Amino acid sequence: MTRKLAIAGAAVVTVAAVSGGVAIAGSRGGEEPLTGSTLDRAADAALAHTKGGTVLEAEQGDGGSAYEVEVRLANGSTVEVNLDGQFRVVGSGADDESGQNENETENESEGADD
């Protein structure tokens, strides 16, 4: 009987540990993919800003933006466009392989509707 309880207890601990790991891996702040109309609006705003291209990724923003959209331009370069909660561009920059922005620019509020 004690052995069965020990095995059951170990199984519960294992399931809890695995579940905790999945929850941590699935909630890496700012990397929640956009879906539905939010994805559509963010993609439209980013493509208008870059004057075309292909959306590679769109996710919840972090570090001052509500949304982040990664766009591949016709010349093959990649740009990350940062949007506020109203889908206005608040910054953009070349996106290198490490996911860090180079040459990031901040837009003035009156220039965000370009």
pLDDT tens figures, 94-114: 976 444 443 444 443 334 444
Q: For residue 54, give every residue at least 6 positions away whose Cβ sits within 8 Å of its Cβ, in sequence order, or none.
A: 71, 72
| Cα–Cα nearest to 77, from 56, 91, 59 | 56
Token pair of 6 as six digits: 């020990």
pLDDT band at 16 (very low <50, low <70, confident <90, very high): very low
pLDDT tens figures, 76-98: 999 999 999 999 999 999 976 44
Domain 36-111: which topology? SHC Adaptor Protein (3.30.505)
What gap in Å lies between CA 86 and CA 83, rounded to an integer? 8
pLDDT at 102: 38
What gap in Å lies between CA 13 and CA 48, rounded to an integer? 50
What gap in Å lies between CA 24 and CA 1, rounded to an integer? 35
Average pLDDT in the 28-37 region?
79
